[in-house]
Structure 1
Amino acid sequence: MTARTPASGGAPIIDADGIGRTFTRSEGPLFRRRRRTVTAVRDVSFQVTAGEIVGYLGPNGAGKSTTMKMLTGILSPSAGRLRVTGLEPSRQRTRLAARMGVVFGQRTTLWWDLPLRDSLALTRHMYRVPARDHARRLAELTELLELGPFLATPVRQLSLGQRMRGDLTAALLHDPALLVLDEPTIGLDVVSKSTIREFLLRLNAERGTTILLTTHDLGDVERLCRRVIVIDHGSLAFDGDLAALRDGAPSPRTLVVDLAAPSEPIEVPGARTVRVRGTRQWLELDGNPAAVIADVSHHYAIADLTLNEPDIEDVVARLYRREGAARELSAG
């Protein structure tokens, strides 16, 4: 792939300044309905610079989908200022579409009954990509995503992994500066997930494509993202690198010990045994891992040791609980 020339002026690809979104709902009996204002996103500010891969995380109902709809121009912010690739999304959607690619894991942009090749040809006309550029980009993406064996297959007959690779191709044929992905690996098998993750890393490294990713698959985050933004109850809960997220909401490490023979629960300073199954024991560490490992090795006959770092899912869950406790304390 040929690297993209950086945008002039160093302006951020995404610039969100205090954005919010409210909705009005009608409730109650038919002739006595009341209107209630619901806040989905409130006072969210962040910037994404060219070439970043950023994870946008949060539980269901946190405001992720509403944010994505504002970024793509489907919804207008009720408050704040938003620019994506220098454009105001809701007012300049057509121009923005030429600079952005979007993939929703649970919905396809491909034509269900057409062969994949024909779907991608129609996409070329939608984005008004010159035939020569389309042919070159399609050849590149066909090789990188291994589309060749099923380009002639109707979309409805593709596996989920094949269809996702087709959707990625459709989103990238016009060479966007920004790729927005919503659950791109949902429902995929391990091999398909790995293929897509490695492709996205290569796309970012070689093309400089900026990627904003929402996902519940924390494997995606750990493999792809150095920076994560966490949103909870519509508000920004965290914005920083993965290591800082772990430090800000620490989860204990786990030492898995395989003993030479069954034993009573291991007792050493700086750790507590949380599970025993046969000769294998799981220790939750409070102290220095090296000191704990040294103590265990000194006092017990060890067959094997494995130190497991906490899952990002656990870290994020702890962050939610911490933020929730802080809100209750401030409300009280």
Structure 2
Amino acid sequence: MTAGGDAAGSTAGGAPGATAGETAGEPAGEAAGETVGETGHGTVGDPARDAFVDVQELVKTFRVRRRTGMLRRTVREVRAVDGISFAVPRGETIGFIGPNGAGKSTTVKMLTGILTPTSGRLRVAGVDPARERTRLVRHIGVVFGQRTTLWWDLPLRDSYELVRRMYRIPAARYRANLERCVELLELSGLLDVPVRQLSLGQRMRGDITAALLHDPEVLYLDEPTIGLDVVSKARVREFLRDLNAERDTTVLLTTHDLTDIEQLCRRVVVIDHGRLVYDGALAGLHEVGESERTLVVDLEREVGPVEVEGARVVRVEGPRQWLAFPASGSAGPLVSRLAAEYPLVDLSIREPDIESVISRLYGG
């Protein structure tokens, strides 16, 4: 049997949230020497509520070897994570963002115990992830965007049954969690379809379900809405909001979709080049980064660049014009002024992408 993680480059038989080294033949509860109660939360210490996830001066370096000749190689150290610190209260949903190569995935892998920090202090629910991976795995759920934790050749239903056995989930709670996820994520017609035949969006919904069957206290999501259409994205976001509200699940969300952040997170943590460059409210991020939204307007006829308070024209193509305005401001008054002064036919608003926000922030 080939595990879905094998096809995606993860450990064979790896369960959702499982760390490297676990196998399908070793139940998580057995490895950890504990069982799951009806609440799904074991006893993993009693961390202070304001530091359920605690990261202090975290550093991760890699040794990179490069061939410089037939028999010569040079070795240099690369700091993927460079002394970042932040704390996440229990039950909070935060956006963990930054451009590609910033160190986000490396940090999440250390939080889940897949990688060992070079230095610094790291605790998740009072547990050191690197030293107690099998103990921690029962209390976390992980969804890595392009890497499935499902079994590639098995139908979804069989993958979920294996997850139930590995985590020793009580039958009643397993059925309740599965039915809820299947209904809200629209998986009823996909349960008997092999994972390899699912589209990316369908597989993402399947992975989210698998990560939640054992009621994790902490959920790590890497691009959870990738490959989803607009309706499915809205449904997943609503599902995650309800999960956080009803079960007090701590969620750490990594995404390039600013709408995911805006609708799910009150707080964002930004890293770039391995360093923490911002930790606070999303509105504050826009202000510090001086990001801009774009209003695209179609007029009845071609006119010169429009003049409207609070925006500037950055591009004109016939009757269509692009106007930039501060991302922290409201588009409503701007649209009202435009409609009153110009023959407006249609309009759309484009949100600033995370890369441009971070570039401005880091460059400043």
Q: TM-score, normalised by structure 2?
A: 0.78
Aligned counterpart in structure 2 of residue 150 of structure 1, from 190, 193, 201: 190
Residue matched to 2:53: 14
**Preserved contact between residue 246 and residue 312 of structure 1 (Cα < 8 Å):** no
Residue matched to 2:282: 242
Residue matched to 1:130: 170
Q: Distance in 1 between matches of 2:173 and 2:332?
A: 56
Q: Deviations over 1:66-124 (max 9, x none)?
A: 10110010111111100011100010101110000001121111112222111101001
Q: Distance in 2 between matches of 1:85 and 1:69?
A: 16
**Structure 1 residue 302 corresponds to structure 2 residue 343:** yes
**Preserved contact between residue 13 and residue 178 of structure 1 (Cα < 8 Å):** no
The alpha carbon displacement at 1:135 in A equals: 2.1
Please give the secondary structure, in 2, of the residue aligned with 1:137: helix
How has the CA–CA distance of structure 1 residues 305 and 8 changed in structure 2, closer, same or farther, with 3 Å as cutoff? same
**Preserved contact between residue 297 and residue 320 of structure 2 (Cα < 8 Å):** yes
Residue matched to 2:98: 58
The alpha carbon displacement at 1:22 in A equals: 0.7
Superposed CA RMSD: 3.0
How has the CA–CA distance of structure 1 residues 235 and 290 changed in structure 2, closer, same or farther, with 3 Å as cutoff? same
Q: Deviations over 1:211-266 (max 9, x none)?
A: 11111222222222221111100100111111110111123454555545432223
How has the CA–CA distance of structure 1 residues 246 and 78 changed in structure 2, closer, same or farther, with 3 Å as cutoff? same
**Preserved contact between residue 63 and residue 233 of structure 1 (Cα < 8 Å):** yes
**Structure 1 residue 311 corresponds to structure 2 residue 348:** no
**Preserved contact between residue 184 and residue 235 of structure 2 (Cα < 8 Å):** no
**Structure 1 residue 228 corresponds to structure 2 residue 268:** yes
Residue matched to 2:362: 323
The alpha carbon displacement at 1:39 in A equals: 0.9
**Structure 1 residue 118 corresponds to structure 2 residue 148:** no
**Preserved contact between residue 3 and residue 206 of structure 1 (Cα < 8 Å):** no
* Higher mean C-alpha displacement, 259-268 vs 119-128: 259-268
Residue matched to 2:111: 71
Residue matched to 1:330: none
Please give the secondary structure, in 2, of the residue aligned with 1:138: helix
Residue matched to 1:103: 143
Q: Distance in 1 between matches of 2:334 and 2:168?
A: 62
Residue matched to 1:48: 88
Q: Report the AA paired with residue 64 of structure 2.
A: R
Residue matched to 2:13: none
How has the CA–CA distance of structure 1 residues 30 and 97 changed in structure 2, closer, same or farther, with 3 Å as cutoff? farther
How has the CA–CA distance of structure 1 residues 113 and 258 changed in structure 2, closer, same or farther, with 3 Å as cutoff? closer
**Preserved contact between residue 222 and residue 312 of structure 1 (Cα < 8 Å):** no
**Preserved contact between residue 293 and residue 352 of structure 2 (Cα < 8 Å):** no
**Preserved contact between residue 253 and residue 307 of structure 1 (Cα < 8 Å):** no
Structure 1 unaligned spans of 5+: 326-332
Q: Report the AA paired with residue 102 of structure 2.
A: A
Please give the secondary structure, in 1, of the residue aligned with 2:284: helix
Residue matched to 2:15: none
Q: Distance in 2 between matches of 1:129 and 1:322?
A: 45
**Structure 1 residue 273 corresponds to structure 2 residue 316:** no
Please give the secondary structure, in 2, of the residue aligned with 1:264: coil
**Preserved contact between residue 12 and residue 50 of structure 1 (Cα < 8 Å):** yes
**Preserved contact between residue 21 and residue 79 of structure 1 (Cα < 8 Å):** yes
Q: Distance in 2 between matches of 1:232 and 1:307?
A: 30
Q: Report the AA paired with residue 194 of structure 1.
A: A
**Preserved contact between residue 143 and residue 220 of structure 2 (Cα < 8 Å):** yes
Residue matched to 2:73: 33
Q: Distance in 2 between matches of 1:231 and 1:22?
A: 16
Q: TM-score, normalised by structure 1?
A: 0.85
The alpha carbon displacement at 1:280 in A equals: 3.7
Please give the secondary structure, in 2, of the residue aligned with 1:98: helix
**Structure 1 residue 159 corresponds to structure 2 residue 204:** no
Q: Distance in 1 between matches of 2:324 and 2:199?
A: 41
**Structure 1 residue 218 corresponds to structure 2 residue 258:** yes
Q: Report the AA paired with residue 76 of structure 1.
A: T
How has the CA–CA distance of structure 1 residues 92 and 277 changed in structure 2, closer, same or farther, with 3 Å as cutoff? same
Q: Report the AA paired with residue 236 of structure 1.
A: L
How has the CA–CA distance of structure 1 residues 254 and 133 changed in structure 2, closer, same or farther, with 3 Å as cutoff? closer
Structure 2 unaligned spans of 5+: 1-37
How has the CA–CA distance of structure 1 residues 153 and 19 changed in structure 2, closer, same or farther, with 3 Å as cutoff? same
Q: Distance in 1 between matches of 2:59 and 2:325?
A: 41
